[in-house]
Structure 1
Amino acid sequence: MKLIFRIQYRTLWGEEVRIIFDEDENQSVALSTRDGVEWQGSCDYQLSPCDAPLTYRYAIYRDNSCTRKELGAIFHIIYPGNAQQSCYIIDDCWRDLPENNYRYSSAFNGKYTPVSPVRLNDNVGSCITFRALCPGLSSKEQSLGLIGSCNALGNWEYCRPIRMREVRPNVWQLTVDASSLKFPFEYKFVAVSNKTGAVVAWETRNNRIFHTQPLQRGETYFPPETEVFFNTRSLRVAGCAIPVFSLRSEGSFGVGDFGDLKTFITWASATKQKVVQILPINDTTMTDTWMDSYPYNSISIYAFHPMYIDLRQLPALQNEKASQMFEEQRIRLNSLPQVDYEEVNKQKRSYLRMLFKQESENILTSESFETFFRDNKEWLIPYAAYSYLRDLNHTSDFNNWGEYSRYDKEQIQELCNPNSTAYSKIAFYYFLQYELHVQLLATSDYARSKGVIIKGDIPIGISRTSVEAWVEPYYFNMNGQAGAPPDAFSTNGQNWGMPTYNWDVMAKDNYSWWQKRFRKMAEYFTAYRIDHILGFFRIWEIPYHSVHGLLGQFVPSLPMSKEEIQSFGLAFSKETMTRPFINDYILNTVFGEHSEEVKETFVKRLHHDIYVMRPEFDTQRKVEAYFADKPDAESQDIKEKLYALISDVLFIPDHDNPEMYHPRIAVQNDYIFKQLREQDQEAFNHLYNHYYYQRHNEFWYHEAMKKLPVLTQATSMLVCGEDLGMVPDCVPWVMNQLQILSLEIQRMPKSPAHEFGQVHEYPFQSVCTIGTHDMSTFRGWWEEDKELTERFYHQELGHWGNVPEHAPEWLCEEVIRQHLESPSMLCILTWQDWTSMDSALRNPDINIERINVPADPRHYWRWRMHITLEELMKQDEFNEYIRSMIEESGRSVSEQTEDAE
């Protein structure tokens, strides 16, 4: 059959428009044009006879290379017509994201059941297929319909619309017999009640007028696809953020689990909250110590942490003595104020091993397990083998695994063979992931049934000793460390220790590594948070010899040559500007009574009073190793000061080209900057501002637009970005274009004109919150800086008089109401901040409520609710108060289609 495509798109000289079929760039058709605006082309294509549609996108090519594609997760679709249809004439419009793209996400749509379009009888000779995009009708027991000025379209009678079919989520089609229509005709799209078949709402625009030339027998005409809008309220909802490990119920085993998450969703739904946001839940087991409590350093991007298994959902242990012993341990661990990470995992793992020995034959031969294994074996087998080898070798560092140090697929398949002596130990990890999958999927389905969004979290990095680093090392730069430049969290920057990504390699397979990761998440979540979205523009890469983050550089970036540096009026010297500036004054000032010890041990005199670091201590890692067995406070203080000494440079040579340079981040407070002449300081600041705030905007914009459109359109989940820190101007350009929700925090304003974020001015496409897991709670923040608190109390909240020493419940409520009434689509508050407005319910220990301290790389993630979920559900007055606050703020109303006739 013949396909004829027509589209209007204004191109530049040298560009051409192509159609890409089924996301395969090898299957593309080039269109032609006479004026660079009207493009047309045709091809022969055999549509599948079994109702399988053809999907396609438009793309712009230059020099045989794709420079732009249509955005979004929704393709153009052609379904096969009846037996006579041999020619399809398709008028299209270029499609980027639909307006209000969030409405098309799975966060605001229920699970979709595919429906094929109605195929007309074979005696119909010519057809017209109407196509429209319209979200939110299926869940409202409504369908999209068509009504118009001729009898075949109901003659405008509200009870006679023609119902369309939702052939893909929010994509509607209707094919009519062209001979039944009287041309020209007027028509409108309408919302139709599935119960009565009558019109319940009319689209908000003038009547559409249809003109077309007569169709020949066997032709089907597709008018341009359109977005349909009804009078609908903007969707603004409220929710709660809490880590799964922090949940506490009467029956949990010292740590929150997926069963507790289901109960928490019940509480959220009962209080009119529509979002539950969690931290990453991936397996982090590397050392079997509390150091594994850090949830952003996972060993697998797919596998979940075994501690989240709800033992109550599993078969009971038949060994009564062991069962009683575990119950005693459960009661003991569950009564602790915080998570005892090591003991919880030790006891739960012992329980699960015993249960696996008891139930493995039944579970591993079940049909549901076999389905799970078949669908997930690509990652499950390497993960299980990794876990077995980690246990066997007592280390997660695969470089120390002997013959298994380098991943070999055939070798691992042999190791995991059911006839292998290691199989039972490997299959134990299959069992764990299967149970986690079953439980989380059940919780996810329950949340959907309650209309509650579960918002997951995608960490920007992976562990350098993870399954992925073992199996797919070519995707990563193992000689660098990902982190963040200095910010409000850490004056020395953050060093996460994770490898950075080799984006050039990832681009070659269209970022399939990321796409598979996102699609796996979409099985369970309807929204997600991209941790450190700035990393998709550029990542802060720190050399492996550094401990702090100050000696990092953005990757990718545009380093400066010696000549360019000098063009700013700064006399560049590689010898003096790329190595630490050390003299007697600095050593005496910084180290005081220890200065002589430092001179004798760590530095050597170069000339006069100028020193250099000794070769055995010229990197922070070497200094770290020297002090490894010196835990006393005095030694640790000297160590930190030596770190600062090593970071005291003006420029850092580029990782790839040492003859190109980057100005060191935040160097203006260091000695090497202060010793510059005033005019050199001004020249450096001019260069610095250009480099960090102007130079890379266009460059980083294009870097992000290579990656983020592919990733965000891989699923229908609602996309939110954590865009805090040193944010380039191009970040909001990309986030607005891709409709990624920003993160708005009052104590971290994005405008330098304000000391505090202006909550009433937040953009609609945003998530607003009082604080995150990386910050103190509102009550904790209130007591950290009394002068800042006073300005907030008087200038921001407009109160008079003395500032309360501790944040009273009425003040916490006022700030919560302020956030609920903001324009932001999502208002997600931490559970600690929700409970802060109830004096009887709030935790009396403010400090224990903090989840993470980013400046401390060895922080223990162990905070837990101080009351049980059962007790929380019984707090009738508190829960009713949350309900009323959410209702009064307009965040409890579901999307409604109102009659716009």
Structure 2
Amino acid sequence: MTLRFFVRYSTSWGQQLSLALHNGRVLPMDWHDADHWTAELEWNEPELHYRYIFTQGWELKEQADRVLVFREGETELTLRDEWRQPGRLADNLLKAPFRDVYFHHPPQGVPRGGSHYFQVSVPLLESGREVALTGNIPSLGDWNTALAVKMQAREDGRFAVNVNIPPGMDVAYKYLLDGAEFETGENRSFHSSAACVIDDGFARFNHQPWKGAGVAVPVFSLRSEKGLGCGEFADLKLLADWASATGQRLVQLLPVNDTMTDNSWKDSYPYAAISAFALHPMYIHLPALGASEGYTAVQERLNALQDMDYETTILFKINALQTFYQNFRGDAAFDGWVKKNLYWLEPYAAFCCKRDGSSDVVFYQYVQYCLHLQLSEAVSYAHSQGVAIKGDLPVGMALHSADVSYMPELFDATVQAGAPPDEFAQRGQNWGFPAYNWPIMEVTGYGWWRQRLQHMAQYFSAFRIDHVLGFFRLWQIPRHTKEGILGYFHPAKAFTEQEIIDWGIPFEHARYCEPYITDDVLYRIFSADAVTVKSVYLEPSGDGRYRLQEAYRRQCDIHEEDPGIRQGLYDLITNVIFLEPSPGEFHPRFGLQETESFLALDAAVQESLLQLSLHFFYHRHDELWEKEALRKLPVLQSATDMLVCGEDLGMVPHCVPGVLQRLGILSLEVLPMPKQSGQTPAGAPYLSVVTPSTHDMATVREYAPGREEEVLRLHLEAPAMWCIMQLQDWFSLDGALCGRPPEEERINVPAVSPWYWRYRMPVTLETLCQTAPLNEKIRSMLRESGR
């Protein structure tokens, strides 16, 4: 079969379109004219999976795969496609929340039949409205709208129709809405061939920018009359009822991955996943599986607690699951699910067996199957109520996890991920996760990422990329270091010794790269304990300075020391100007101007160091980090149809807003963390999510007491596509629901690690659904703000 491709895309000198086939072949296309690229291909298989790739220098853009099934006996086919530019607003309006939940059209299936197959996307088309095709030839109605050809919805949310058109005709046509509204702009046109598939991208109908609102809450924070000790997947149904009744369209969750390592309260940390795929057994609803001995008594005791008792809850549920498992007999549905998911179930179950000293892998498969069924049922119900579910993609994996253990080549366990210091964590953050081995991931086609996201897409219509900045550059911390302040960016363009000297700094390795310790420094840090510290931990280094003894030069070496002096020893170790992750490669320490070492330098040298540091952290890497992101983020974006939001908070490189905008990834705008001085929600871009608080910070009641409604209205009136409030912030509108001090509503304090993630909503979901004053208030506020 001869395939001829015509792709509409206006390019300039140095740009190239290519055709990528699923067998790995990449075929460069030919420039045809100012608006088209072409390619010709001989193909002998019954179907074709292909995509278009744009390249310009180092920049690469890939589109999602397209699938073409050929008709029997077909010998030639023309494909008239449109390049779908990443970042277009219309692309986001066709993502899963809009296509599958808010503007869903039951698919009718439109296999190719006529000589010409038309397909087009129509965003934000309400249920019941119709799309048709009309044009200048009899088979298209001769522009008579009454004779226009009605189009049918496909499974992918697009509209399609088959039309028989003789070859050799000059065809002009347009799409028609509800039999009356023509799309805007000039007529579309082409010269007909024997057989043709025409992909027109988006129909040109005018529509108002869509704006929605939602609620953010961890599953464990939910409380219901039927739950046990924490929120469960089954509780998402009641939450969806409440969201729908108040006019909210989206429920945003924290990660729901399994985090079980030792069943202690430290496992409550939802970002330390032991599997990128497995769900947490904590979220199981036991009564759906059967009766559990002692359930009612434990339920009454745990549900009476203000916060979650993680250890008691998970222990009871695991014991109950083991009892249910004794009577479990697999069936065809279970066997089929296991076979489909074996790529992650096998390493996960093996990891759990090793962790628990067990040999029964089927038990862990059974638990995951039950969780899958319960979450799927809850999501399906939420969709029926017009509510989409948004998941959370953690930036890292736990060091001791199934993925790291069984796919070690994908990770770099010699370092750990974290974040540089900020106003919320002045010593930086150390998450303990291994870094990713991106070169290996790229060689393998990012298969692990694609599988991970496609697995998430079973449940979620949208997802938040936790710490999206990590896909530009990661804050890496040596494995032997405890505090994030001794981290450094990777990748980065480290300074050489000569470069530092060229900046006017009289570089000397011992003075700038080793801890600067003098008697004055010791007394300022340790006061009366200075003499003891000097005698136990230090040795003279000459010139009135000291160095740590070899046994105490790393933070991990002093982690078990007396807490009264441990932090002081940490401070000595971090009292450096430059870090040297690799020999001869120097990174300025973040916040070097605050060190005792810096303050002891001459004023001229201090000024040079400040300028060097400013250049390094804010200007030196823009192009490098942009390239990194444009290699990775399109993979995450093209793997599924989920709507993508990036959590771009913290020390944001200059290139980040432009990259997110180009790719159409929604940014996150948080009032207490403005991207520019004085920025308010009113200045948020349309492709963004605005929120007054996140799980890592104080709620509105704490930082804006007495102004809660004003702050919430400010966010609802923002031009952003989404306004998502924490459940606690919605509660601030009704004093009767705020029975706790504001500071106890906070879910996490990043500066404190480990932290017990245990907040639970103060009332049950059943009560919330019946709280008429609050619910009417939210409905009214959403209606008035156009959400």
Are 1:253 and 2:175 matched, yes or no? no
Counterpart position of 2:175? 189
Name the larger-Rg structure. 1
Matches of residues 612-631 of structure 1 in structure 2 within 5 Å? 612-625=547-560, 627=561
3-state DSSP of counterpart to 1:140:
coil
Are 1:242 and 2:212 matched, yes or no? no
Counterpart position of 2:90? 100
- 1:741-780: CA deviation from partner (whole Å, max 9, x where unpaired): 11101111100x32xx311111111111111000011122
Question: How far apart in 2 are the matches of 1:841 and 1:436?
Answer: 31
3-state DSSP of counterpart to 1:316:
coil
Question: How far apart in 1 are the matches of 2:628 and 2:694?
Answer: 28
Counterpart position of 2:488? 553
* Cα distance change on mapping 1:871 and 1:716 into 2, 3 Å: same
Question: How far apart in 2 are the matches of 1:716 and 1:29?
Answer: 26
Asked if structure 2 preserves the Cα contact closer than 8 Å seen for 1:57 and 1:70, the reply is no
Matches of residues 17-56 of structure 1 in structure 2 within 5 Å? 17-22=17-22, 24=23, 26-33=24-31, 39-48=37-46, 52=47, 54-56=48-50
Are 1:202 and 2:182 matched, yes or no? yes
Are 1:889 and 2:781 matched, yes or no? no
Counterpart position of 1:320? none
Unaligned runs of 5+ in 1: 122-126, 193-198, 318-322, 393-421, 628-634, 783-806, 892-901
Amino acid at match of 1:527: A
Query: What is the CA distance between 1:696 and its match in structure 2?
Result: 0.5
Counterpart position of 1:795? none
Query: What is the CA distance between 1:174 and its match in structure 2?
Result: 3.2
Counterpart position of 2:566? 639
Asked if structure 2 preserves the Cα contact closer than 8 Å seen for 1:249 and 1:869, the reply is yes
Query: What is the CA distance between 1:118 and its match in structure 2?
Result: 4.8
Query: What is the CA distance between 1:648 and its match in structure 2?
Result: 0.8
- 1:470-498: CA deviation from partner (whole Å, max 9, x where unpaired): 10011111110100000121011000111
Q: What percentage of residue pairs aligned between the two structures are identical?
A: 37
3-state DSSP of counterpart to 1:370:
helix
3-state DSSP of counterpart to 1:268:
helix
Are 1:500 and 2:479 matched, yes or no? no
Counterpart position of 2:697? 775
* Cα distance change on mapping 1:504 and 1:719 into 2, 3 Å: same
Amino acid at match of 1:731: V
Question: How far apart in 1 are the matches of 2:470 and 2:725?
Answer: 25
Are 1:674 and 2:599 matched, yes or no? yes
Query: What is the CA distance between 1:78 and its match in structure 2?
Result: 4.1
Counterpart position of 1:859? 755
Counterpart position of 1:687? 612
Counterpart position of 1:462? 397
Asked if structure 1 preserves the Cα contact closer than 8 Å seen for 2:218 and 2:253, the reply is yes
Amino acid at match of 1:679: A
* Cα distance change on mapping 1:44 and 1:113 into 2, 3 Å: farther
Query: What is the CA distance between 1:355 and its match in structure 2?
Result: 2.0
Amino acid at match of 2:127: K
1:833 alignment partner, one of 729, 743, 747: 729
Question: How far apart in 1 are the matches of 2:351 and 2:49?
Answer: 39
- Between stretches 336-345 and 140-149, larger displacement belongs to 140-149
Question: How far apart in 1 are the matches of 2:14 and 2:697?
Answer: 51
* Cα distance change on mapping 1:221 and 1:378 into 2, 3 Å: closer
Question: How far apart in 1 are the matches of 2:160 and 2:263?
Answer: 55
Are 1:147 and 2:126 matched, yes or no? no
* Cα distance change on mapping 1:35 and 1:842 into 2, 3 Å: closer
Asked if structure 2 preserves the Cα contact closer than 8 Å seen for 1:651 and 1:662, the reply is yes
Question: How far apart in 2 are the matches of 1:61 and 1:269?
Answer: 44
Asked if structure 2 preserves the Cα contact closer than 8 Å seen for 1:239 and 1:827, the reply is yes
Question: How far apart in 2 are the matches of 1:862 and 1:112?
Answer: 40
* Cα distance change on mapping 1:282 and 1:119 into 2, 3 Å: closer
Counterpart position of 1:763? 685
Asked if structure 2 preserves the Cα contact closer than 8 Å seen for 1:462 and 1:499, the reply is yes
Question: How far apart in 1 are the matches of 2:452 and 2:702?
Answer: 36
Query: What is the CA distance between 1:531 and its match in structure 2?
Result: 0.4
3-state DSSP of counterpart to 2:590:
coil
Question: How far apart in 2 are the matches of 1:224 and 1:291?
Answer: 52
- 1:113-141: CA deviation from partner (whole Å, max 9, x where unpaired): 765535446xxxxx44434232344x613
1:706 alignment partner, one of 609, 631, 637: 631
* Cα distance change on mapping 1:60 and 1:844 into 2, 3 Å: closer
Question: How far apart in 2 are the matches of 1:354 and 1:128?
Answer: 60
* Cα distance change on mapping 1:60 and 1:295 into 2, 3 Å: closer
Query: What is the CA distance between 1:326 and its match in structure 2?
Result: 2.6
* Cα distance change on mapping 1:720 and 1:433 into 2, 3 Å: same
3-state DSSP of counterpart to 2:374:
helix
Query: What is the CA distance between 1:373 and its match in structure 2?
Result: 1.0
3-state DSSP of counterpart to 1:865:
coil
Are 1:272 and 2:272 matched, yes or no? no
Amino acid at match of 1:868: T
* Cα distance change on mapping 1:620 and 1:94 into 2, 3 Å: same
Question: How far apart in 1 are the matches of 2:747 and 2:347?
Answer: 32
Asked if structure 2 preserves the Cα contact closer than 8 Å seen for 1:485 and 1:540, the reply is yes
1:326 alignment partner, one of 295, 301, 314: 295
- Between stretches 583-592 and 219-228, larger displacement belongs to 219-228
Query: What is the CA distance between 1:36 and its match in structure 2?
Result: 9.7
Asked if structure 1 preserves the Cα contact closer than 8 Å seen for 2:118 and 2:197, the reply is yes
Matches of residues 411-422 of structure 1 in structure 2 within 5 Å? none
Counterpart position of 1:375? 340
* Cα distance change on mapping 1:455 and 1:13 into 2, 3 Å: closer
- 1:273-331: CA deviation from partner (whole Å, max 9, x where unpaired): 111111111111112111111111111111111110011211224xxxxx2x2321111
Question: How far apart in 2 are the matches of 1:107 and 1:290?
Answer: 35
Asked if structure 2 preserves the Cα contact closer than 8 Å seen for 1:254 and 1:344, the reply is yes
3-state DSSP of counterpart to 2:404:
helix
Asked if structure 1 preserves the Cα contact closer than 8 Å seen for 2:105 and 2:157, the reply is no
Counterpart position of 1:163? 150
1:135 alignment partner, one of 123, 128, 150: 123
Matches of residues 797-876 of structure 1 in structure 2 within 5 Å? 807-808=705-706, 811-876=707-772
Query: What is the CA distance between 1:207 and its match in structure 2?
Result: 4.3
Are 1:109 and 2:99 matched, yes or no? yes
Question: How far apart in 1 are the matches of 2:167 and 2:523?
Answer: 95
Are 1:179 and 2:166 matched, yes or no? yes
Question: How far apart in 2 are the matches of 1:390 and 1:535?
Answer: 30
Counterpart position of 1:536? 471
Question: How far apart in 1 are the matches of 2:732 and 2:594?
Answer: 38
Asked if structure 1 preserves the Cα contact closer than 8 Å seen for 2:59 and 2:627, the reply is no
Asked if structure 2 preserves the Cα contact closer than 8 Å seen for 1:237 and 1:826, the reply is yes
Counterpart position of 2:311? 342
Asked if structure 2 preserves the Cα contact closer than 8 Å seen for 1:187 and 1:207, the reply is no
Unaligned runs of 5+ in 2: none
TM-score of the superposed pair, with normalisation by structure 1:
0.83
Amino acid at match of 1:163: K
Counterpart position of 1:525? 460
3-state DSSP of counterpart to 2:737:
coil
Counterpart position of 2:776? 880
Question: How far apart in 2 are the matches of 1:15 and 1:145?
Answer: 36
* Cα distance change on mapping 1:40 and 1:824 into 2, 3 Å: closer
Question: How far apart in 2 are the matches of 1:223 and 1:435?
Answer: 44
Query: What is the CA distance between 1:8 and its match in structure 2?
Result: 6.3
* Cα distance change on mapping 1:780 and 1:622 into 2, 3 Å: same
3-state DSSP of counterpart to 1:727:
coil
* Cα distance change on mapping 1:37 and 1:451 into 2, 3 Å: closer
Matches of residues 209-228 of structure 1 in structure 2 within 5 Å? 209-210=188-189, 212=191, 215=193, 219-222=194-197, 225-228=200-203
Question: How far apart in 2 are the matches of 1:13 and 1:839?
Answer: 63
Question: How far apart in 2 are the matches of 1:225 and 1:8?
Answer: 9
* Cα distance change on mapping 1:436 and 1:77 into 2, 3 Å: closer
Asked if structure 2 preserves the Cα contact closer than 8 Å seen for 1:11 and 1:36, the reply is yes
Asked if structure 2 preserves the Cα contact closer than 8 Å seen for 1:455 and 1:526, the reply is yes
Counterpart position of 1:360? 328
Amino acid at match of 1:379: W
Question: How far apart in 1 are the matches of 2:154 and 2:384?
Answer: 22
* Cα distance change on mapping 1:833 and 1:309 into 2, 3 Å: same
* Cα distance change on mapping 1:372 and 1:112 into 2, 3 Å: farther
Asked if structure 1 preserves the Cα contact closer than 8 Å seen for 2:59 and 2:630, the reply is no
Query: What is the CA distance between 1:72 and its match in structure 2?
Result: 3.9
Asked if structure 2 preserves the Cα contact closer than 8 Å seen for 1:112 and 1:169, the reply is no
3-state DSSP of counterpart to 1:814:
helix
